[in-house]
Structure 1
């Protein structure tokens, strides 16, 4: 009887220890999760996201809404869509799916001056918003042909001190640019991969990026908008770009070094992916998004099997790109038409 009593006491003791351990584990996990969510929600509130588009490329907006842009307008408070001319949109319904719509009235082509005009408006908008919300820490800008893993972005930014000048993205060239008459060189973060600027850097850039002078200064320097921002940041302000090639990806990457090279861990950890009509079309955006959602739900094995299948299918069924163009932008269609018309005229002349 004494032994039975000891066994009973021992069992009760072990059960109590087990329950205490489970309770402690639950509290720790909950605490970590809440802390992560706190960091993430705080970072969201302090990060402004700009997406640059054009009415020429309004078809791209559907793919963004099917993938990484939240469908709930209440979750778009920090996301701004910047476009050139709202009145020329044929699909007004898609515009209503964006909470914050900004019209720049910049010229509507892809020329250097026009791009620099749009860049200047992005900076001006951030400075205007920072007057309303003095707690803003980050400005991240992306193009309309990119996928952005917002969770990864916010988690990454939450670990960095925005009171220091940070210029974060991906360099797309393997050499540094020279400045005539100077020994120093510079490089830049390509806008095609997405770029983030900390609050401290944005304050330092402020005298150089107003919308009156920036487009003209771009032309004088003879470089693109992202190149000119690199010139200002690295050469003028002496702040180096932080190039994170494993996290930021652009459409400028070679095909065999982009999606065909990626494994499921790339999809899980990266912040941005770039798309291009001659590599991976924008129709891949919802697919990539669903794969990432599977990973987030703990279904990484299933996501990996599906991703391997899609990669193999794509390799075995290459697209015929002869006489093709970017069908998501009417400007490319027109250029293709003009090129074909020019060829016909030449043939007629001959």
Structure 2
């Protein structure tokens, strides 16, 4: 009896297996083709995915960074009654034309001519005009407060002996997230800065030289507010007895513990401008110059072809035409 049942089971299995083979032959399996997702769909998916970027990551993949434009930047230029007449005309003729609404000049005197030429962007700080630390800090303090009131995402400070490559400035800032703490600049010294503050010796901090320019994200600027806003910054300067750019570094690096991010595209007259390669000028953010005796003896300037040294001692006119040759006055260059 058991043997008959085993034979019947074996017969049933054989019939089932044959049926399965017949089914595979008459109805073959469909092969599913796996295709890559189109780039357009991937892009849409990524744009809807947000993450908090690490301050150590300067990736520009975040769509928020890419959307940074000139409108998001507050550009301040520090000047004085001693240099306005000689330095501002070349700035107003060149790079200011690319950022008229975003650039503000902080001075210590009323000048109706420059006020008209800048469409009201000259701010008389009423600070002393001397080149002493506390007087420099006075202007920088007011620059900082104006930035806070502006609601802009980036605060970028320059001096009146700087040429600023505006498109490049925007491009570089797009690498960084304004919602995080960023202090962007270039050091002029490669050694620690020592200061005495509240009877304590601060052993080390770095700073970005103001003569090359520096930028501070809004996130970091807001953290500076309890220490620096409303004129408090002047007290810091007096406490360490250092110029404004050093005091900025002190507040950020020593008190807030945020390190400077070195950006080599910033330049000042403390460097040899003539050593900048011609084919690298478009990649730079700022340039400087230095002269003696009211342009009669230009000591340090960018080596760029264009106008004569007598007509353009700072080389800013020539540099501007090299970068933006479509400006009308560039047609005066002898080819």
TM range (shorter): 0.5 to 0.7
Look up the match of 2:126.
Answer: 105
Preserved CA contact (<8 Å) 1:49 1:78: yes
Quote the Cα distance in structure 2 between the aligned partners of 1:183 and 1:268.
39
Look up the match of 1:251.
Answer: 269
Q: Are positions 1:169 and 2:185 aligned together?
A: yes
Any gaps of 5 or more consecutive residues in structure 1? 1-37, 131-135, 297-302, 307-350
Q: Are positions 1:68 and 2:95 aligned together?
A: yes
Match of 1:79 among 76, 80, 103: 103
Query: Aligned-residue CA RMSD in angstroms?
Result: 2.5
Match of 1:43 among 62, 66, 69: 69
Preserved CA contact (<8 Å) 1:234 1:241: yes
Q: Which has the higher contact order (CA 8 A, sep 6+)?
A: 1
Displacement of 1:129 in angstroms is 1.6
Quote the Cα distance in structure 2 between the aligned partners of 1:57 and 1:116.
18
Displacement of 1:79 in angstroms is 1.3
What is the TM-score with the length of structure 1 in the denominator? 0.65
Preserved CA contact (<8 Å) 2:65 2:177: no
Quote the Cα distance in structure 2 between the aligned partners of 1:243 and 1:294.
30
Q: Are positions 1:157 and 2:166 aligned together?
A: no
Preserved CA contact (<8 Å) 1:60 1:282: no
Equivalent position SS for 1:210: helix
Preserved CA contact (<8 Å) 1:140 1:196: yes
Match of 1:140 among 140, 151, 156: 156
Matches within 5 A, 1:4-15: none
Q: Evaluate the alpha carbon distance shift between residue 286 and residue 198 of structure 1 in structure 2; reply closer, same or farther with a 3 A threshold.
A: same
Q: Moved runs in structure 1, 4+ residues, more than 6 A?
A: 38-41
Quote the Cα distance in structure 1 between the aligned partners of 2:245 and 2:178.
21
Match of 1:264 among 275, 278, 281: 278
What is the TM-score with the length of structure 2 in the denominator? 0.68
Displacement of 1:184 in angstroms is 4.4
| Higher radius of gyration, 1 or 2 | 2
Q: Larger helix proportion, structure 1 or 2?
A: 1
